[in-house]
Amino acid sequence: MGFTHFDENGKAFMVDVTNKKETVRTAEAVGTIKVSKEVYEAVKSGTVGKGDVLGVATTAGIMGAKHTSDLIPMCHILPITNCSIQFELDPEEYAIHCTCTVKVTGKTGVEMEALTGVSTALLTVYDMCKAIDKSMEISGIYLRRKTGGKSGEIINMK
Amino acid sequence: MGFTHFDENGKAFMVDVTNKKETVRTAEAVGTIKVSKEVYEAVKSGTVGKGDVLGVATTAGIMGAKHTSDLIPMCHILPITNCSIQFELDPEEYAIHCTCTVKVTGKTGVEMEALTGVSTALLTVYDMCKAIDKSMEISGIYLRRKTGGKSGEIINMK
Amino acid sequence: MGFTHFDENGKAFMVDVTNKKETVRTAEAVGTIKVSKEVYEAVKSGTVGKGDVLGVATTAGIMGAKHTSDLIPMCHILPITNCSIQFELDPEEYAIHCTCTVKVTGKTGVEMEALTGVSTALLTVYDMCKAIDKSMEISGIYLRRKTGGKSGEIINMK
Amino acid sequence: MGFTHFDENGKAFMVDVTNKKETVRTAEAVGTIKVSKEVYEAVKSGTVGKGDVLGVATTAGIMGAKHTSDLIPMCHILPITNCSIQFELDPEEYAIHCTCTVKVTGKTGVEMEALTGVSTALLTVYDMCKAIDKSMEISGIYLRRKTGGKSGEIINMK
Amino acid sequence: MGFTHFDENGKAFMVDVTNKKETVRTAEAVGTIKVSKEVYEAVKSGTVGKGDVLGVATTAGIMGAKHTSDLIPMCHILPITNCSIQFELDPEEYAIHCTCTVKVTGKTGVEMEALTGVSTALLTVYDMCKAIDKSMEISGIYLRRKTGGKSGEIINMK
Amino acid sequence: MGFTHFDENGKAFMVDVTNKKETVRTAEAVGTIKVSKEVYEAVKSGTVGKGDVLGVATTAGIMGAKHTSDLIPMCHILPITNCSIQFELDPEEYAIHCTCTVKVTGKTGVEMEALTGVSTALLTVYDMCKAIDKSMEISGIYLRRKTGGKSGEIINMK
């Protein structure tokens, strides 16, 4: 199977989905930011009191998911019908795990929306903590699950 | 040192840089996408002939860096004076490494612009290859080097 | 009835409308800007000759309504099918009343689009007149009427 | 004094500020949303526990202020150097008061940025509470104070 | 037949398409940029080796088509289902011809999307070559063909 | 002289202007739309009464100029200090001529802003008249004059 975003002359284009059926599609993407102990503690205490880094990152992630077709050149404009961001704190690794779930009734999937939502949320965490720690690292961004469309359900267990 | 993006009541705000001096600032961020052998070969041959995935991703990454303040809530609007994206192919790991370099003469740094440029470029590679491989993973996004501003030069060797 | 934009842990999310039916929905929002006599006369004469403040504000209001999902974090992207802006001049109060009407065939309503259209139109009037009067005030922004959807027709008489 | 945004033929244009001096400019705008007792209590308890409406609205308001030149046709693009949003709860009136403060070192003022920040923040409160109360009203949006530029300090006491 | 974008008082509005049927619609727009011999040769060699002006312009054109409703005040937001850009080099005239094809299943046509795609692609060619030639000219932008909707197929042969 | 937007490997990048001096720069771009007699008469009468096509197009053109760096991938973000749009009606040719003038104090020129302003204004005229005439053509888009920067004043007489 070859690229779907290039024509026979190697020119990029937005894939034609005109004749695809509208079906319910979901995608769930994940990612992680590893931070210093100091950042970890600050983020953790913020979520229960003040300085709510993850609250701001949740809002940014949802807005980022809505901006996907502005950022990714060959992505279709999709009126997504649901988007949520969840964070989980991992005290062993000083890691913050993020999950973004997106749904649509549409002609093409929302994998890129979920991945863009996760990326934007994690970049926002980075931005708000970078005065404390300049060596944070974002990793493990991948599609955990999708449903709907021609390829049906796909689950990546890592 | 605590958060700089929250006031004494824990409310988020855009940091006041009004009185900071304009200096030349640079930032270099990196990141990687790991792909299947099939995607790796397709991307590699595309760069020398047709189906130029990395060309589209370069354009998207530069445009993404310019969108940083739209995506990251507390980021300042910065009229960046230079942005470039470089890719390096790693045949051992079927990995594509991306570097984004950004410069500005401004009151605050361009770390977030470089990180957003890398993230957008890698998401674009993902988008253009996802019909072939649905288990690609983006990782290793961090700031490799920055110069300028109060904290001066910082280098992260990983 | 509680918030619909927060989950059971108090985390904000975009409400899931995947399974809602597409129906015709309309919304009409209103708002007012009170200005000085001098501004009032200038705006009024502009509409019949030159310096058409309300023409520019109409264009801005319609474009603002289309930007709603970019501005309001939890709003869905809605391909609105109609938008109009009307102004009415009130010589007793030196007030300019604005109405924005929006329609869509969709899974969720267009109240926020109508309210954002009114707000943007009134802010544009403010901007174009602020060299003359710096104490103008925008007030009375509310939803006057909506139809369609589960809650059906709602009319606010004030 | 006449309009500054229209030429001698009544055609709108963006005012020429090329030769104005860069000075520090600040603006503070305010506005209010009046809500039902039920919404008031929900918002109030959210700020101390879960369902943080005002946290989301703060983020939206800051991002809205950065979008001002996209929304208001004749506004200049200004790289604002500071933006903050404050809310105050008024239990007598079931009112939520919002203040947006913006700074820049620039050739023109940031009144519109402060007013757009307030409007976007209040519209976001509306959006997140509209399932409970459909008759909320936004009012009292005006410029409370500005400093810098040719017109110097202006204070509106209302 | 008169204007469709103005009401009986001459006020502009977004045309109401709420009750129009969703049908497949396509549009093909064309345009040309005339350049110097030096630019022509540089662009031509770039497409077969390095300095791929037309690759960047293709990406920009597709993204531009997706931005149509942000740019053109009375345009509806349309989730286009296909977009492609083609270039043809004319060695006689040192001209670069561009064609943009857009499809949608929607209530209104995609003529403006195709025309905006062509315009953005040609402006991008201009930008990337303007250091070499400052007298390039863009011309011949028109709708070559549309299908679907009430007016059916229309072909402009020029 | 070769391309300035590609590195030695042919990869596109945003030109580094970090060390260029800030000077006053201006650019004036022009363009034309040729329309049917019927459209010409409607536009002409609109400008003196109701249905002000050119008023809407002026607003759109100014907003388009501000969006230049969003549309043209390698363009710098420039806080333009002035933008105006002028139209001239040509009764011999049923042509509408548009001129866009832009100024900035910056490190790089505003040619692309002026050209994007003209293009957006003419596309808006097209949009508002396309129900009457589907064979309009946009042509003659070029840079008439620029001043400032290393290349100084350039005038294109055509």
pLDDT tens for D35-49 read 999 999 999 987 644
ipTM surpassing 0.85: yes
- From the list D139, D12, B44, the residue with the least C-alpha distance to F83 is D12
pLDDT (0 to 100) of residue F100: 98
On whether any CB of chain E is under 8 Å from the CB of F18, the answer is no
Report mean pLDDT in 10-residue bins for chain A, 158 residues: 77 91 96 96 74 92 98 96 96 97 96 98 96 96 95 90
Instruction: For residue B145, give how far its alpha carbon lies from the nearest alpha carbon of chain F (Å).
Output: 18
Q: Which subunits have 3 or more CB–CB pairs within 8 Å of chain C?
A: A, D, E, F
On whether any CB of chain C is under 8 Å from the CB of F60, the answer is yes
**pLDDT over 60 at B49, yes or no:** no
Q: Please tell me whether residue E156 adopts helix, strand or coil conformation.
A: coil
Sort residue A16 into left (φ over 0), alpha (ψ -120 to 50) or beta. Answer: beta
Q: How confident is the model at residue D3 (pLDDT cuts 50, 70, 90)?
A: confident
Specify the DSSP class assigned to residue B29: E
Long-range Cβ contacts of E126-130 (<8 Å, 24+ apart): E126/E33, E126/F112, E126/F115, E127/F5, E127/F72, E127/F74, E127/F75, E127/F112, E128/E53, E128/E56, E128/E57, E128/F3, E128/F5, E128/F12, E128/F74, E129/E35, E129/E39, E129/E42, E129/E43, E129/E53, E129/F3, E130/F111, E130/F112
The proportion of chain F whose per-residue pLDDT surpasses 70, expressed as a percent, equals 96
The proportion of chain E whose per-residue pLDDT surpasses 70, expressed as a percent, equals 96
pLDDT (0 to 100) of residue F4: 81
Residue E2 makes CB contacts below 8 A (sequence gap 6+) with F42, F51, F132
Q: What angle do CA A147, A156, A2 make, to 5 degrees?
A: 80
Q: Which of D32, D141, D153, D155 to mutate to test the interface with C (most CBs of C within 10 A)?
A: D141
Strand-pair partners of B64: none
Work out the average pLDDT over B101-120. Answer: 97
pLDDT tens digits for range B54-96: 999 999 999 999 999 999 999 999 999 999 999 999 999 999 9
The closest CB to that of B51, out of A3, A53, A115, belongs to A3
Q: Write out chain D residues lying below 8 Å of A63, CB-based.
A: 63
**Structural domains in chain B plus CATH codes:** 32-148 (3.30.70.640)
Determine whether F20 is exposed, middle or buried from the number of CB atoms within 10 Å of its CB (0-12, 13-18, 19+). middle
C85 and C78 Cβ atoms separated by less than 8 Å: no
Q: Phi and psi for B125 in degrees, rounded to 5?
A: -60, -45
pLDDT (0 to 100) of residue D7: 84
pLDDT (0 to 100) of residue E1: 53
**Rounded Cα gap, residues F67 and F85, in angstroms:** 15
Which range among B46-50, D48-52, E125-129, F119-123 shows the weakest confidence by mean pLDDT? B46-50
| Tokens coding C46 | 């502009």
Instruction: For residue E146, give how far its alpha carbon lies from the nearest alpha carbon of chain C (Å).
Output: 21
Residue C92 makes CB contacts below 8 A (sequence gap 6+) with none
pLDDT (0 to 100) of residue C17: 94
**Rounded Cα gap, residues E95 and B2, in angstroms:** 59
**Rounded Cα gap, residues F112 and F142, in angstroms:** 10
Q: How confident is the model at residue B50 (pLDDT cuts 50, 70, 90)?
A: low
Describe the crossing of helices F37-48 and F53-66 by its angle, rounded to 10 degrees: 90
Residue B35 makes CB contacts below 8 A (sequence gap 6+) with B43, B94, B95, B96, B125, B129, B133, B136
pLDDT tens digits for range C15-45: 999 999 999 999 999 999 999 999 999 999 8
- Which has more pLDDT, E4 or B145? B145
Strand-pair partners of F66: none
On whether any CB of chain C is under 8 Å from the CB of A82, the answer is yes
Binary contact (E81, A11; C-beta < 8 A): no
Work out the average pLDDT over F113-139. Answer: 96
Determine whether C156 is exposed, middle or buried from the number of CB atoms within 10 Å of its CB (0-12, 13-18, 19+). middle
Q: Please tell me whether residue F148 adopts helix, strand or coil conformation.
A: coil
Give residues 99 to 128 of C whose Cβ lies within 8 Å of F.
none
Work out the average pLDDT over E131-153. Answer: 95
pLDDT (0 to 100) of residue D1: 53
pLDDT tens digits for range E93-103: 999 999 999 99
D96 and D35 Cβ atoms separated by less than 8 Å: yes
Q: Write out chain D residues lying below 8 Å of F86, CB-based.
A: 11
pLDDT tens digits for range E98-130: 999 999 999 999 999 999 999 999 999 999 999
The proportion of chain E whose per-residue pLDDT surpasses 90, expressed as a percent, equals 82
* Residue C111 known to bind ligand: no
pLDDT tens digits for range A107-122: 999 999 999 999 999 9
Q: How confident is the model at residue E50 (pLDDT cuts 50, 70, 90)?
A: low
Task: Kindly give the residue spans of alpha helices, DSSP state H, lying in chain C.
Answer: 37-48, 53-66, 68-71, 111-129
Work out the average pLDDT over C111-123. Answer: 98
DSSP for C56-70?
HHHHHHHHHHHTHHH
How do the residues of chain F divide into helix, strand and coil, expressed in percent and rounded to 5?
30, 30, 40
pLDDT (0 to 100) of residue E129: 94
| Tokens coding F90 | 């040509």
Instruction: For residue B70, give how far its alpha carbon lies from the nearest alpha carbon of chain F (Å).
Output: 11
Neighbours of E33 (CB within 10 A): 27
**pLDDT over 90 at B108, yes or no:** yes
- Give the torsion sign (CA, A104, A97, A70, A76): negative
Binary contact (E126, F115; C-beta < 8 A): yes
Q: How confident is the model at residue D50 (pLDDT cuts 50, 70, 90)?
A: low
Virtual CA dihedral for F103, F108, F114, F119, nearest 10 degrees?
-150
Count contacts between A and C (CB, < 8 Å): 54
pLDDT (0 to 100) of residue C1: 53
The type of residue at A66 is K
Respond yes or no: is residue E127 known to be catalytic. Answer: yes
The number of CA neighbours under 13 Å toward the Cβ of C26 is 15
| Binding site as annotated, residues of A for substrate | 74-76, 112-113
On whether any CB of chain D is under 8 Å from the CB of A60, the answer is yes
**Rounded Cα gap, residues F119 and E119, in angstroms:** 7
| Tokens coding A69 | 């077709």
Q: Which of B6, B9, B17, B18 to mutate to test the interface with D (most CBs of D within 10 A)?
A: B18
Q: Write out chain F residues lying below 8 Å of D73, CB-based.
A: 59, 62-63
| Tokens coding F110 | 């505003």
On whether any CB of chain C is under 8 Å from the CB of A55, the answer is yes
**pLDDT over 90 at C9, yes or no:** no
Count contacts between B and D (CB, < 8 Å): 53
**pLDDT over 80 at C48, yes or no:** no
Specify the DSSP class assigned to residue E7: -
Binary contact (E52, B56; C-beta < 8 A): no
Binary contact (D7, F59; C-beta < 8 A): no
Which residue in chain D has the smallest CA separation from B71?
D63
pLDDT (0 to 100) of residue C6: 84
For chain C, what is the mean pLDDT? 93
Work out the average pLDDT over B137-151. Answer: 95
On whether any CB of chain A is under 8 Å from the CB of D36, the answer is no
Q: How confident is the model at residue D107 (pLDDT cuts 50, 70, 90)?
A: very high
On whether any CB of chain C is under 8 Å from the CB of A79, the answer is yes
- From the list E33, F84, A150, the residue with the least C-alpha distance to D15 is F84
pLDDT (0 to 100) of residue A51: 72
Q: Write out chain C residues lying below 8 Å of D158, CB-based.
A: 137
